[in-house]
Amino acid sequence: MHMLSKIKLLCTLLFWFFSVGGAQAFETNAKAAYIYDLTTGTVLLSKNADTPLPPASMSKLMTLYIAFEFIRAGQLSLEEKLPVSAHAESYGGSTMFLDTTDRVSVADLLSGIIVLSGNDACAVIAEALSPDGTEAGFSKLMTQRAQQLGMTNSTFQNSNGWPHPMHRMSMRDLGLLATRLIEDFPEYYDMFSQREFKFDGRAPANKRNRNPLLGLGIGADGLKTGHTQEAGYGLVGSAQQGERRIVFVLSGLSSTNQRADEAEAIVNWAFRQFTTRSFGKSGDVVTRATVWNGSNADVGLALSKGLTTLVPVLGDAQVRFDVEYLNPIPAPISKGDSLGHLVVTIPDLEDTRIPLVAAENVPRGGFFRRVLTAGQSLVSQVKSQSEIGS
């Protein structure tokens, strides 16, 4: 029988236990929020982060992600010019003021989505990439692709966030999407820092990026604002200072000023109140686990990557490390096999889980070794039943 073992590393990693600062939690006025440090994989804040909410124009990021995928696959080019349908032209709200006489380059459409938040531009892209040529068909593709990417609290009814009772995303899903855009498409990411886009001189009043953090000198370089009456004011943002990058999502704020103030405060808090600390490098063995029917009795559990995490700068808190794995681990085992997780716990932050892998090969044991293992298991079971009976 294999059972999930949870081992608190009091001895093996005693040198890793120490007091660190306790950062004061960020008190946000947003109805839902999510702050994530990409460099260390640390969630700094989670407030109603898994609740599906109306994302407004922030859901345009999903349309952009799929467009970038089609471009990389060679099925769409930045120079290609797409027609504008009557359906795309019919959208109100934030638009590029497109009409059915236009054929617009994909590059201009992407800038129109990112900078001008063009509802019409999204519909043009959607109809071009939809399996059936309709925005509704593209919306189904968006939902399917989101699920594949791990965004389990996202459903789409259109390409641009136009209000619909079934068009929903969680803040964590938006944070995951922002992370994927940054990591999967670095060649296009600088588009999100465009502060102005003058498309054909059609909308002089709608030429500036609504992201309030661009140009403040705090490392902000993306990604997308959103607003509807139902959703309130929101922002998917990212900023980089030094080697650290954060992604944050806000929703349900009451005004553009409140959105700007909250976003800047979050960036300052995330970078000033936390610092990185290294606890181990890739390949370091953190503990050894019992092996079932192996040529060796145990196997080393090693870090799959360097363990660098955030710790608060001030105060007095304690970092805790736990190991989780199925015990005993059945042979054969190949070096590098995923065997469990190291769970890093810091007060007031979400736990961080680091994959643990086999440090060496453990072949299946010979006949006598398997007999010995079976005998040890039988003795263990008898002892366990005896203790229960007593």
CATH code for the domain in which residue 9 is found: 2.60.410.10
Mean per-residue pLDDT for 357-364? 95
Residue 27 lies in a domain: no
323 with 211, same domain: the answer is: no
338-345 and 19-20 strand pairing:
unpaired
177-191, 201-215, 312-326: which has the minimum mean pLDDT? 312-326
8-17, 126-135, 194-203, 365-374: which has the minimum mean pLDDT? 8-17
Confidence of residue 78 (pLDDT cuts 50, 70, 90): very high
115 with 38, same domain: the answer is: yes
pLDDT in tens, 142-185: 999 999 999 999 999 999 999 999 999 999 999 999 999 999 99
Residue 54 lies in a domain: yes
282 with 263, same domain: the answer is: no
How much is the pLDDT for 15? 35
261 with 292, same domain: the answer is: no
329-330 and 285-292 strand pairing:
parallel
Confidence of residue 346 (pLDDT cuts 50, 70, 90): confident
Among the candidates 228, 246, 272, a domain finishes at: 272
How much is the pLDDT for 1? 45
- pTM for the model stands at 0.85
Residue 284 lies in a domain: yes
The answer on pLDDT for 387 being more than 90 is no
- Give the integer Cα–Cα distance in Å for 366 and 386: 30
- Give the integer Cα–Cα distance in Å for 117 and 109: 10
Confidence of residue 319 (pLDDT cuts 50, 70, 90): confident
Among the candidates 243, 272, 301, a domain finishes at: 272
DSSP string for 135-163 = HHHHHHHHHHHHHHTT-TT-B-SSSS---
As a whole number of Å, the end-to-end CA separation of the chain is 22
- How many degrees, rounded to 5, is the angle at CA 177 between CA 162 and CA 48? 75
The answer on pLDDT for 338 being more than 90 is yes
Among the candidates 237, 272, 307, a domain finishes at: 272
Domain count, the chain: 2
How much is the pLDDT for 24? 67
289 with 322, same domain: the answer is: yes
Confidence of residue 315 (pLDDT cuts 50, 70, 90): low
Expressed as residue numbers, the domain containing 72 is 32-272
Most confident of 9-23, 59-73, 203-217, 366-380: 59-73
DSSP string for 242-301 = TTEEEEEEEEEESSHHHHHHHHHHHHHHHHHSEEEEEEE-TT-EEEEEEEESBSSSEEEE
Q: Which residues are catalytic?
A: 57, 60, 117
**Phi and psi at residue 3, to the nearest 5°:** -120, 150
- Give the integer Cα–Cα distance in Å for 61 and 308: 29
Q: Which residue has the higher pLDDT, 21 or 26?
A: 26
203 CA to centre of own chain: 34
Looking at residue 388, its amino acid is I
45 with 170, same domain: the answer is: yes
122 with 254, same domain: the answer is: yes
- Give the integer Cα–Cα distance in Å for 160 and 167: 10
How much is the pLDDT for 19? 45
On average, the pLDDT of the chain sits at 89
Q: Which residue has the higher pLDDT, 176 or 315?
A: 176
